[in-house]
């Protein structure tokens, strides 16, 4: 299984002939190496409804007949846009043909801004646990630190965790380092940093805060084999 990072919170998983994209913010993302027109995901997972995570989901899903997995309200909205969407709620899991997905809490906001200066509520933000090929990947989404991360790691041994470190909108490096300790993941990769001025961070400094060599910075386009 190949797991790669593509700027901001974009993660791609390639497993057993399936391609899974998480939070495909490609168009308008100056840090990504991806081009939306080149992507052919079988599955798209969206952690919450902000534009820098929902991103190119609708276009990609329609063009590729992708299955989109998201919280119930966001999935319902996407269904209204003609997308094949599977709604879930926090704490719930489901066995798909590619593996198991379970949504976890994430403490953040959510909503889609319209041209009329309105915000459409799109359900509770979430993190996601993806288990496939006997491995578990945790994408925390956008979140602050919360103590139940210890429960998440205790209930679901995590092989690879993607944690936001940008501060301002999510955990900063200090809290993310403590989150890594709570989760007990075998490998931790920082995400959600440097895309915008308020979230400028040094990912290598964050890695230096982690114990036992669990941290790894993935440059844009780099991957890990699990």
Q: What percent of the chain has pLDDT over 90?
A: 97
Q: Where are the beta strands (DSSP E) in 108-201?
A: 112-113, 119-120, 126-132, 135-139, 160-164, 188-191
Q: Domain 2-225: give its CATH superfamily.
A: Ribonuclease Z/Hydroxyacylglutathione hydrolase-like (3.60.15.10)
Query: Model's pTM, two decimal places?
Result: 0.97
pLDDT higher than 90, residue 212: no
Q: What is the mean pLDDT of residues 176-196?
A: 98
In this predicted model, what pLDDT tens digit does every residue of 66-102 receive, in sequence order?
999 999 999 999 999 999 999 999 999 999 999 999 9
Token digits of residue 136: 């578990």
Q: Which residues of 140-158 are buried (b: 16+ CB within 10 A; e: fewer)?
A: bbbbebbeebeebbeebeb
**What CA–CA distances, in Å, run from 205 to 112, 201, 208, 210, 215?**
33, 8, 5, 9, 10
Q: Say yes or no to pLDDT of 48 above 90.
A: yes
- Report which secondary-structure segment, H or E, holds 70: strand 67-71
% residues pLDDT > 70 (the chain): 100
136-150 per-position pLDDT tens digit: 999 999 999 999 999
Residue 211 clears pLDDT 90, i.e. is over it = no
What pLDDT is stored for residue 54 in this prediction? 97
> Within a 10 A sphere around the Cβ of 47, how many other Cβ atoms?
27
Question: What CA–CA distance (Å, rounded) separates 212 from 192?
Answer: 23
Quick one: pLDDT at residue 77?
Answer: 97
Q: Which residue ranges make up each domain of the chain?
A: 2-225
């Amino acid at each position: 299984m190949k797991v790669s990072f593509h700027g901001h919170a974009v993660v791609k998983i390639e497993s057993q002939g399936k391609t899974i994209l998480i939070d495909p913010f490609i168009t308008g993302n100056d840090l990504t190496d991806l081009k939306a027109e080149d992507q052919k995901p079988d599955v798209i997972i969206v952690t919450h409804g902000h534009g820098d995570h929902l991103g190119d989901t609708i276009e990609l899903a329609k063009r590729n007949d992708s299955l989109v997995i998201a919280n119930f309200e966001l999935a319902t909205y996407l269904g209204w846009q003609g997308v094949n969407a599977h709604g879930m709620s926090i704490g719930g899991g489901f066995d798909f043909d590619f593996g198991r997905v379970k949504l976890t809490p994430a403490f953040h906001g959510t909503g889609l801004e319209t041209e009329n200066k309105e915000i459409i509520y799109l359900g509770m933000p979430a993190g996601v646990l993806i288990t496939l090929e006997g491995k578990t990947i945790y994408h925390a989404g956008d979140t602050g630190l919360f103590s139940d991360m210890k429960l998440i790691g205790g209930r679901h041994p995590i092989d690879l965790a993607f944690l936001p470190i940008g501060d301002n909108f999510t955990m900063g490096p200090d809290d993310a380092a403590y989150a890594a300790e709570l989760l007990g993941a075998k490998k931790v990769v920082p995400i959600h940093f440097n895309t915008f001025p308020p979230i400028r961070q040094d990912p290598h400094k964050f890695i230096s805060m982690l114990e036992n060599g669990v941290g790894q910075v993935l440059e844009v386009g780099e991957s890990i084999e699990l």
